[in-house]
Amino acid sequence: MSLTLHTEGDTIIVVTRRFAAPPKALFRAHTEPELIQRWLLGPDGWTMPVCICEARPHGKFRYEWVNGKGAGFHVTGEFLELEPYRRIVHVERMHLPDPTPENHVETTFDPDGDGTAMTVRMNLPDTATRARMLATGMARGMEASYLRLEARDDFDMLGER
């Protein structure tokens, strides 16, 4: 199904996507570690060996990704609001390895026929953060091939720095 992504003003990105499953299944897939680890992975070859997710208001989460070749990074965050099964508000920061500015994210799951219309509103990172994400080659599933570095040895080395 198709995903839409647009910016609002200078600072907000809005992502929408429809799913065939009901809101409860979406909510679970965003809050239960054994489900999160199966899809929030980014480019092929990356896995999430550490997934800690305290799905309650003020609960913390920590996701760690590795590519099996020595490169990796992690995200930490806190849940601000959890409204089963329709809304999640959290803050997160990437560690590349220095922490990026905090990203505020609101995720909503609205019933849509038999399925769910999901909307994600998040901050647009600043220029410096975007550059660091590009250099890491992966952040929230960044596509390494954008830089056409996949075939290069120095790409993986960069991630290890």
Partner 1 sequence: MDVMQQLDGVFAALSDPTRRSILARLAKGEATVMELAEPFEMTQPAISRHLKVLETAGLILRRAEGTKRPCRLAGDGVDAIEQWLAMLHKALARNYDRLDAVLADVKPAKKRSKQ
Residues in touch with partner 1 (CB under 8 A): 1, 3, 5, 7, 13, 15, 17, 19-22, 24-26, 28-29, 35, 38-43, 114, 124, 127-128, 130-135, 140-143, 146-149, 154, 158
Q: Which residues pair with 42 in a beta bridge?
A: none
DSSP string, 36-48: HHHH---STT-EE
Q: Residue 15 or 89: which CB sits closer to partner 1?
A: 15
Q: Cβ 58 to partner 1, closest distance in Å?
A: 26
Q: How far apart are CA 142 and CA 102, in angstroms?
A: 18
Q: Residue 57 or 68: which CB sits closer to partner 1?
A: 68
Q: How many CB atoms lie within 10 A of CB 56?
A: 10
Q: Cβ 17 to partner 1, closest distance in Å?
A: 5
What is each CA distance from 117 to 6, 82, 151, in whole angstroms?
16, 17, 37
Q: Residue 24 or 74: which CB sits closer to partner 1?
A: 24
Q: How far apart are CA 135 and CA 132, in angstroms?
A: 5
Is the distance from CB of 125 to CB of 132 less than 8 angstroms?
no
Q: How many CB atoms lie within 10 A of CB 30?
A: 21
Q: Cβ 91 to partner 1, closest distance in Å?
A: 18
Q: Cβ 94 to partner 1, closest distance in Å?
A: 13
Q: Residue 15 or 50: which CB sits closer to partner 1?
A: 15
Q: Cβ 73 to partner 1, closest distance in Å?
A: 14
Q: Residue 1 or 58: which CB sits closer to partner 1?
A: 1
Among candidates 47, 139, 146, which has minimal Cα distance to 159? 139
